[in-house]
Structure 1
Amino acid sequence: MGEIPPELGNLLNLEYLYLNNNQLTGNIPPELGSLSKLLYLYLNNNQLTGNIPSELGNLSNLTRLYLNDNQLTGNIPPELGNLSKLYELYLSSNRLMGEIPSEFGNLLNLLYLYLNNNQLTGNIPSELGNLLNLWYLYLNNNQLTGSIPSELGNLSGLGLLYLSKNQLTGNIPPELGSLSNLYDLRLNDNQLTGNIPSEFSDLSRLCYLYLNNNQLLGSIPSGLNNLKKLKNLNLNNCGFDFLPTLTHSHLDSLWVGNNNLTFDDIIPNIGVPNAYFSYAPQDSVEITEDIHRCLRSDFSYTISDSHENNGYAWYKDNVLLPGVASNPLEIDYLREADSGSYRCVVTNALAPDLTLYSREKRLNFYPSPVSFDIAGQIDVSEDEIVVYSVPENADVDYSWYHTGGNILSYPTDNSIQVQWGSGGKGVLNSYSTNEHGCVSDTATLQVNIGPTTGIGDIYVREIKVYPNPASGAIRIISETAFPNDSMLEIIDSSGKVVKTEPLKDVVSYGTDLSFLPRGVYFIVIRSLGFSQKIVLQ
């Protein structure tokens, strides 16, 4: 107990001073700096306080300096960088502050440097890359900032590198992959970004790799599978999105939870670690998105993880959709009641600890064009030419189809010129399409042509084309099946037919227009008297 007497500084021939593992208090006497022949100075595991005396930098023959596990405060004196014969420097588990002196780069004989468990700040000095004989470097549990200096890759003899639990940023330097003798690397609990360097696949003696609790991204290098001595691999709580199959490794423990991995990553590695495999939880899959659709169009939500043993449970507004267990979720001919938030819960019996949750897709509807009525019923004479119009709206395109007459022209965007045929009945239908490709309800005009012939009413089907504008495929929907002899024509603005296809006996028919350049085209079904303008973007 008690304090270290300053009179010890008078023992000028002293070579070894062991005062460790006592209950000594007070300051380290600066007089100890007079012991010019001192080789070993052990003051560790006491209750010493105050600053480290700069006078200790005068101990030119010192090879071992142990000041660890005390209550020392203040900065590390740069004068310690004068101890050119020093092999071992232990300053860990104190309350030291300030920066690591760059002068430590002069300690060329140093084998062990322990500065961990202090309150050190600032950058890691690049000069530490000069310590080519260093075996152990402990800088963990401080408040160090900045990037890891690439010069540490020069420490070819280094076996252990602990930089964990600091505030280090930037990428992991690929030069660390040159540390051929490294067996324990811990960079965990920092703010490191970027990828794991592929050069880490060359660390053939590595047994322990801890990179957890960083902001690392991308793929975990497949070359880690070749590290035959690797026993513990901790990659928890980063942002990795690919895990290679590590079947050739000899891992005892593997931690990959709290990343962006899926069952496609996890299941091939079930059974790989000999003792412990922690793979849950994982981040939600897919992206949160607001999706807008037109009424009567389609909606699909695909989960990218498609492992063959996956089970899918779909929810709308947090209510389970009964009987819906496929991937993707598909809804045809959307109605107002289909709006809401959709998400999926994915499970797999081969990896029972993991449940994947998809982010929400919020389905909303574009406003439909305002419905209009061109008339109810009119009488015309045989062969009479009549122009019909609907209310003008610059934000929509108009489509017309008819029976009982011939379309002569379109005088304006919102009108049509028709010559009605011989006596009987005709029908003129019209609907509008807005900028989102949404269509209005169909307006129907019943036409009595000349004297009644008694042939009865002519039935006209409702036909819709969406999307419009379009960027690739379009779909044509009829309220009843197209007749087998119906022919679809795509006509460009010059009147040239650029595509023809027979329409099958279906109510919904899709066709690909992605090969066509941008512009205005017309969708024509002559046997049904149908024509609609469409814009390809």
Structure 2
Amino acid sequence: MIFLDLHDNQLIGSIPSELGNCTNLLELRLNGNQLTDPIPEGVTLLDKLIIFNISNNLFSGELPEYLDNLFYQNEYTYISLDVSNNMFSGPVPESWGKQSFLIDALNLSNNNLTSLPIVNYNWIMTFFRIYGNNLTFEDIESHYQSYKQGLYYFFHFNPQDEMLTVIDTALMPGSSYSIYSGTGGEFTNYKWYKNSEMILESPDADTLHLVNITYADTGTYTCRAENSLINLLTLYRKPVHISIDTGVNINTYIINENKLKFYPNPTTGIFTTENTIQIPGSGSSYQLSITNSLGVPVYHNPNVELTNEMVIDLSSQPNGIYLVVLKNSKQYFTKKLIINKRGTNR
């Protein structure tokens, strides 16, 4: 038997170790099934194999080191190995980078791999696909340099999975918190976003530091990292959702409240702002936002001109304590607002 093609069936279980006895096999295609661990070491006895495809299955755990035997057992044969779209995790074995390989294609894409091996420059490869893993720019930069030296003809790394994990965290007002991008790399530029609006851009900003946290800091933060060396790849840090611990007495953390003036307060939901606020050096345009006691926005006006009185209608909101925030790039002011509908909570 020279060719065995069982792709896109509904095969379950593991690969039979007896396949190692089929020493005349040139192509073994088992992709598109529901096969699981382990991959038998016997497949490395197939010293004539040029295509081994186990993509789109249910394999998990770390890639077996012994699979590197497929690469160098026949110095005159280029082999194609495809393990993409499984659940392999952890580092690619270091032993894979220490051999002299003739590889037509190595497809590791769409797994959960975390690092690449240091590569021996005797690798000769046409296609190397690593996209859709948990790799950093630090991992990819060194291999991209190898590509520049002619090691790979095609080094596919785009698109890339989001970095790290999603975090939902409640913080105490007045506390500090740091968010790490997780991308690394010497040639990286970081763009930080809050609620899809960029708030910081710098090649030195691999970590975003939030200090003296207030209700105005609630929101969703993420980082978009770009690399000047690898200009086709962007890495994204998975979002961090910041909220304020509602167990804290809100009155303790209201600052500069004498700068914000509106009436009546308490209110039934409709109140008027006065035109007495002036923030030095900032002009007359501000952002005005109001959040409830859970930190959920209930009102936002991104361009407020405080040259006249302004009426705001929150009559659809229930009774409770709300935080009014007026800010621009220079400074911000906060004050609590109480909605009391004389016992009516709607």
Asked whether the two chains share a fold, i.e. TM above 0.5, the reply is yes
Contact (CA 8 Å) 1:140, 1:166: kept in 2 or not?
Answer: yes
- The reply to whether residue 160 of structure 1 matches residue 33 of structure 2 is no
How far the C-alpha of 1:153 sits from its partner, in A, is 2.9
The one of 322, 332, 348 equivalent to 2:211 is 332
| 2:221 is the alignment partner of 1:354 | no
Mapping 1:53-68, distance limit 5 Å: none
TM-score, length of structure 1 as denominator length: 0.42
The separation in 2 between residues aligned to 1:165 and 1:227, in whole angstroms, is 30
After superposition, the Cα gap between the structure-2 partners of 1:175 and 1:195, relative to the gap in structure 1 and judged at 3 Å, is farther
Q: Secondary structure at the match of 1:231?
A: strand
Contact 1:172 1:193 in 2 (8 A): no
Match in the other structure for 1:312: 190
Structure 1's consecutive aligned runs of 4 or more residues displaced over 6 angstroms after TM superposition are none
TM-superposed CA distance for 1:323, in Å, is: 5.2
Check if 1:190 corresponds to 2:68: no
Q: How do 1:426-441 and structure 2 match up within 5 A?
A: none
Q: 2:94 aligns with which of 216, 222, 227?
A: 222
Distance 1:322 1:141, change over 3 A: closer
* CA distance 1:234–1:297, shift in 2 (3 Å): same
Matching of residues 397-416 of structure 1 within 5 Å = none
1:207 to 79, 86, 101: 79
> Is contact 1:174–1:198 with CA below 8 Å preserved after alignment?
no
Contact 2:88 2:112 (C-alpha < 8 Å) held by counterparts: yes
Show the counterpart of 1:417.
none
Change (3 A) 1:266 1:228: same
Deviation at 1:308, TM superposition (A): 1.7
> Structure 1, residues 252-292: CA drift from partner, whole Å, max 9, x if none?
11111122222122221111543211111111012111122
Count of aligned residue pairs for this structure pair: 239
Report deviation, 1:348.
0.2
CA deviations 1:305-363 (Å, max 9, x no partner) are 22121110001111110456612111222222112111100010111111111111111
Report sequence identity in percent. Answer: 30
1:235 aligns with 2:89: no
Q: What secondary structure sits across from 1:337 in the alignment?
A: helix
For residues 214 and 250 of structure 2, the distance between their equivalents in structure 1, rounded to whole angstroms, comes to: 17
SS in 1 for 2:190: strand
Amino acid at match of 1:231: D
Checking the alignment, whether the CA contact within 8 Å between 1:178 and 1:199 is kept in structure 2 is no
C-alpha deviation, 1:239, in angstroms: 2.1
Q: Equivalent residue of 1:201, what SS?
A: helix
Residue ranges of structure 2 left out of the alignment (5+ in a row): 253-346
CA RMSD of aligned residues (A): 2.3
Distance 1:212 1:315, change over 3 A: same
- Cross-structure match for 2:133: 259
1:264/1:370 CA distance change after superposition, 3 Å: closer
> 2:100, 2:120 within 8 Å by CA — same for their partners in 1?
no
Name which of 268, 287, 306 aligns with 2:142: 268
Change (3 A) 1:142 1:322: closer
CA positional deviation for 1:236: 1.9
Structure label with greater radius of gyration: 1
- Structure 1 counterpart of 2:81, one-letter code: L
Tell whether the 8 Å contact from 2:192 to 2:222 is kept in structure 1 after alignment: yes
> Which deviations, in whole Å up to 9, do the C-alpha atoms of 1:367-399 show, x marking residues without a partner?
324779xxxxxxxxxxxxxxxxxxxxxxxxxxx
**Which structure has the highest strand share of the two?**
2
1:140 to partner: Cα distance: 2.8
Q: Which residue of 1 aligns with 2:248?
A: 368
Would the alpha carbon gap of residues 334 and 232 (structure 1) be closer, same or farther in structure 2, given more than 3 Å must change?
same
Asked if 2 retains the 8 angstrom alpha-carbon contact of 1:253 and 1:274, the reply is yes
Q: Which has the higher contact order (CA 8 A, sep 6+)?
A: 2
The equivalent of 2:321 in structure 1 is: none
Instruction: Tell me which amino acid in the other structure corresponds to 1:339.
Output: T
Q: Distance in 1 between matches of 2:38 and 2:62?
A: 7
| Contact 2:190–2:201 (Cα < 8 Å) also in 1 | no
Do residues 286 (structure 1) and 164 (structure 2) align?
yes
Contact 2:91/2:113 (8 A) holds in 1 = yes
Letter in structure 2 aligned against 1:193:
S
